[in-house]
Amino acid sequence: MASPDQHRLGIQACREGRLADALSFLGRSLLENETSERWNDWATVQFLTHRSAEAEVGFRRALQMDPDNAQAAANLGALLASAGRPAEALSCLENVGEPAAEQLRSLCRNASAAPSQAEVVVIEKIERRMMRALSLQTGAAANLWMRTQALEAAIDRLVAVAEPAASSQQGLIPTIAFHEVLPDAACVELQALDANHENVTLHELCLIARLCGLQKPRRIFEIGTADGRTTLNLSCAGGDAEVFTLNLPRPGLGTRFLNAPAQSKITQLIADSATFDYAPFCNSIDFVFIDAHHHYEHVLQDSRAALRLLRVGSRSTVVWHDYIEHWPGVVRALNELFVSEPQLAGMKRVAGTSLVYARVSR
C-alpha cells in the first residue's frame, strides 16, 4: 500500500486550522523529499504558529534551493516587513513582480518617513490592491494563509509610523493593536477575498471572522447587508449559527451568499434598521455587526438596538465599521456611547482598521 502523501496532508491540515498536525505532516514530507516548495510550506506554518525565527530559516532554505521561487521570496519579504526590518524585506521583494509585492515594497520604502497626513482609508486602498492580486494566485493553500497574516502584522508595524495619534474627535475610544485582540490559535478560512468600495478590507474581515469564531455564537445579527460579503464570512466563521442580516431593498443585495453552501443558515431581512421591529430577536443574539446608515442618529439607534438583541446571562460581541474621520456621524455616536453607556465602557478601536468592538455582558 502506498504511503500517505505527507505534503498533501499537511496542506489540508493547515487549511482546516490544525496547525500542529500541519507541522508534523510537512516535517515528515521534508524528510521524504526536500524541495523548495516544501520548505516554503513548512515555513508558512511556522509563521502561522508565531515561530518567526524558524519561518525565516525555512524561507531562506527554500530560496537557497531555488532562488527563483517567487512565493518564498514574497513570503520572506512579508515576514521581514512584519518584523520591522523593511530594508531587508526590500531586498527579498525586489525581483517579485506581482502588484502585491509592489505595494509592500512601497510600504517598506516609506516606513521610516511618516507622511504629513495618514488615514485608515489610505491603508485600505493599498490593502485592496494587494489582496486583489493575492486572490488571483493559485499557489499552495498554505501560502495565502501566511501572506494574509503577514500582511496584518506588516500593516500594524509599518502603519504605526504613519498613523498619527488619534485626533480629538477619535481619541475617546482606546486603540489596541490587531495582534493583541485575539489568542494566537484563533484562525479562520475566509471566503470572497475580492473586495469593492462598499466592503470591509481583508484585514478587517480577518478580525470580524475571528471574533465571531471565538464567540462560538448560536445566533448572529448583521445590521447592513450590502452585497453580503461579510454576511457570508460570518456564517462560515459562526459554524452552525443562524445568521440574520438586515438591509433596505437595493440592487445586488446579498449576492455574495446567494447559492453558497452557507446560504441555508442566512435569513435576509428587508427593512429600515431605524424602524425595524427587533422584538422577536431580543435576548437571543451572541454576535452583532453594525455597518448600516452612518448618520449619527442612525448609529445611535442601531447600537442601542444591538444591546437589546444580546442574550442575557452571557458575554456577547458587538463590532462596528467605519470609525474614521471620513464618517463623523459614526465617530460622534460611538464616542458618545463609550462615555455614556456602561455596557460599552470596554470598547476598543483596532489599529490599522476602521473597526471598534466591545465584549458585552448582560
Q: 331 by DSSP, 3-state: which?
A: helix
Amino acid in position 150: A
Q: Give 3-state DSSP helix, strand, coil % of the chain, rounded to 5.
A: 50, 10, 40
Nearest Cα to 320, choosing from 306, 310, 308, 336? 306
Amino acid in position 312: V
pLDDT score at 137: 44
**Tens digit of each residue's pLDDT (9 = 90 or more) over 138-176:** 444 445 444 555 555 555 544 444 444 334 345 688 988
Domains of the chain: 6-159 (1.25.40.10), 175-361 (3.40.50.150)
* Distant-in-sequence, close-in-space partners of 304: CB < 8 Å, separation ≥ 6: none
pLDDT score at 162: 40
* Distant-in-sequence, close-in-space partners of 327: CB < 8 Å, separation ≥ 6: 294, 354
Amino acid in position 324: I
pLDDT score at 123: 47
Q: How far apart are CA 262 and CA 122, in angstroms?
A: 32
Q: Are 38 and 7 in contact (CB under 8 A)?
A: yes
**In the structure grid, which three cell numbers stand for residue 183, read together?**
489568542
Nearest Cα to 89, choosing from 77, 106, 103, 102? 77
Q: Are 192 and 233 in contact (CB under 8 A)?
A: yes
Torsion of CA 94, 60, 27, 6, to 10 degrees: 40
Which residues sit opposite 242 in a β-bridge? 219
> DSSP secondary-structure letter at 115?
-
pLDDT score at 105: 66
Tell me whether strands 287-290 and 219-223 are parallel, antiparallel or unpaired: parallel
Buried b / exposed e across 58-77, counting CB within 10 Å, b at 16+?
bbebbbebbeebbbbbbbbb
Half-sphere exposure (Cβ direction) of 219: Cα atoms closer than 13 Å: 15
Q: How far apart are CA 359 and CA 362, in angstroms?
A: 10
pLDDT score at 263: 95
R_g of the chain, CA atoms, integer Å:
21
Other beta carbons within 10 angstroms of residue 57's beta carbon come to: 15
Q: 135 by DSSP, 3-state: which?
A: helix
pTM of the predicted model, to two decimals?
0.61
Distances (CA, A) of 278 to 3, 104, 328, 354: 56, 44, 26, 26
Note down pLDDT in tens along the chain; length 362 residues. Answer: 335 688 889 888 877 778 788 888 888 888 888 899 989 888 888 877 777 778 888 888 888 999 888 888 888 887 787 676 777 877 777 776 655 566 566 666 665 444 333 444 444 544 454 444 444 444 444 454 445 555 555 555 444 444 443 343 456 889 888 777 776 555 567 788 777 778 888 778 888 998 999 999 999 999 999 999 999 999 999 999 999 999 999 999 999 999 999 999 999 999 999 999 999 999 999 999 999 999 999 999 999 999 999 999 999 999 999 998 888 899 999 999 998 898 998 999 988 788 999 999 98
